[in-house]
């Protein structure tokens, strides 16, 4: 591929900010050093307290656009708002998501776009980088393999030596074709607020016949859950993880297959809850787990049942290192 003669497609990078101004400014600083020539940035302030929005306003211009939400819509709908704005106003060829608590390598975007420009790229919907720990770059958080178990556990590889086909991406960073997004009824499920929205999107894309590809040469350093600063918020997220796991299975499996797997999911979560309560003495986590199951049943009528998917998406193994 002769990079000098390429006409690089337009990419819009979406960043969601919620009370994380310092991290967001670090992310923007890393984006300003990108080698990629044709990109714009959309920052969505998700109802932050304090002066985050005013500080971000001063950054508008020089490729940066700002969308201000009047409240915190969560990760899923906050990014949906950014996506709708971007598609309507900026007409990109590709859209990149980047967590505000992440910084990118200078070639991050160039490397993520290259696979789309190859001759055999028709079925590639998403490219995903290697994600490393911000405080310990030798520690890989997301590498060249990712799987979702039949119990709903999500496992990410800690290798990045080769390009790999992914079963699920992570919402921390990826690039998706704008045309693929336009063909979906919804990008992220707004009911999710946060967690599992990336698994749900991945499952839907694979059901449609698309490929999700890992690009080892694109690197992101992630601070991980920098916005979860209180115990109350962490408890809410524990509830959301369990709730959204059930919703993801419901949305992507046929009704018959969901009825088959539901007892397995509930049995697994009850067993984990009992184990955590007895051996870790963590009654708070146990309560959140049970509350998440109950809330998933209450939420079914508010989410679209897409169906059509089977068990082939799921890994049939139990990940002993991912119990919880």
pLDDT tens, position by position, 235-292: 888 899 999 999 999 999 999 999 999 999 999 999 988 988 888 787 888 889 999 9
Rounded (10°) CA dihedral 88, 90, 95, 99: -90
User: What is the reported pLDDT for 309?
Assistant: 82
| 144-to-32, 95, 122, 166, 247 alpha-carbon distances in Å | 27, 21, 20, 7, 26
Q: Is the pLDDT of residue 227 over 80?
A: no
Average pLDDT over residues 73-82: 97
Distance between CA 113 and CA 36 in Å, rounded?
Answer: 9
User: What is the reported pLDDT for 291?
Assistant: 94
Q: What angle do CA 73, 75, 80 make, to 5 degrees?
A: 75
State pLDDT tens for residues 167-191: 999 999 999 999 999 999 999 999 9
pLDDT band, very low/low/confident/very high, at 230 (cuts 50, 70, 90): low
Distance between CA 300 and CA 90 in Å, rounded?
Answer: 34
What is the rounded average pLDDT for all residues in the chain?
91
State pLDDT tens for residues 14-63: 999 999 999 999 999 999 999 999 999 999 999 999 889 899 999 888 79
pLDDT band, very low/low/confident/very high, at 324 (cuts 50, 70, 90): low
User: What is the reported pLDDT for 59?
Assistant: 85
275 vs 204, more confident: 204
* Residue pair 168/211 in contact by the 8 Å Cβ criterion: no
The structural domains of the chain, with segments of one domain joined by +, span 9-222, 231-316
State pLDDT tens for residues 89-139: 999 999 999 999 999 999 999 999 999 998 777 899 999 999 999 988 888
Q: Which of 268, 149, 161 is nearest to 199 (CA)?
A: 149
Distance between CA 285 and CA 275 in Å, rounded?
Answer: 11
Find the helix packing angle between 255-275 and 231-252, rounded to 10°.
Answer: 150
* Residue pair 221/133 in contact by the 8 Å Cβ criterion: yes
Q: Is the pLDDT of residue 5 over 60?
A: no
Average pLDDT over residues 69-97: 97
What CATH number labels 9-222? 3.90.550.60
Q: Is the pLDDT of residue 234 over 80?
A: no
Burial pattern 71-81, b for ≥16 Cβ within 10 A else e, equals: ebbbbbbbbbb
Q: In the chain, what is the straight-line distance between the N-terminal and C-terminal CA atoms, in Å?
A: 45
Distance between CA 292 and CA 236 in Å, rounded?
Answer: 9
Average pLDDT over residues 299-317: 91
The pTM of the whole model exceeds 0.85: yes
pLDDT band, very low/low/confident/very high, at 141 (cuts 50, 70, 90): confident
């Amino acid at each position: 591929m002769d990079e000098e003669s390429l006409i690089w497609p337009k990419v819009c990078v979406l960043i969601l900010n919620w009370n994380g101004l310092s991290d967001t400014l670090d992310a923007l600083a890393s984006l300003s050093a990108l080698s990629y020539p044709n990109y714009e940035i959309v920052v969505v302030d998700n109802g932050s307290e304090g002066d985050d929005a005013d500080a971000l306003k001063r950054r508008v211009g020089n490729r940066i656009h700002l969308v201000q939400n009047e409240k915190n819509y969560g990760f899923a709908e906050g990014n949906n708002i950014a996506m709708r704005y971007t598609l309507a106003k900026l007409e990109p060829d590709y859209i990149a998501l980047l967590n505000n608590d992440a910084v990118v390598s200078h070639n991050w975007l160039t490397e993520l776009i290259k696979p789309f420009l190859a001759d055999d790229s028709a079925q590639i919907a998403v490219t995903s980088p290697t994600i490393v720990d911000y405080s310990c770059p030798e520690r890989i958080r997301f590498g060249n393999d990712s799987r979702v178990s039949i119990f709903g556990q999500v496992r990410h590889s800690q290798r990045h030596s080769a390009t790999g086909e992914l079963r699920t991406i992570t919402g921390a960073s990826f690039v998706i074709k704008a045309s693929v997004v336009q063909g979906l009824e919804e990008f992220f499920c707004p009911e999710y607020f946060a967690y599992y929205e990336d698994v749900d999107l991945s499952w839907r894309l694979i059901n449609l016949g698309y490929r999700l590809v890992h690009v080892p040469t694109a690197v992101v350093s992630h601070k991980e859950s920098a916005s979860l600063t209180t115990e109350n918020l962490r408890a809410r997220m524990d509830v959301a993880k369990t709730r959204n796991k059930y919703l993801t299975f419901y949305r992507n499996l046929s009704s018959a297959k969901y009825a088959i797997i539901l007892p397995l999911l509930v049995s697994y979560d009850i067993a984990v809850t009992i184990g955590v309560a007895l051996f870790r003495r963590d009654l708070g986590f146990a309560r959140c787990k049970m509350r998440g199951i109950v809330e998933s049943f209450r939420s079914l009528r508010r989410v679209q049942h897409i169906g059509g998917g089977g068990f082939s998406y799921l890994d049939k193994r139990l990940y002993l290192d991912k119990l919880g």
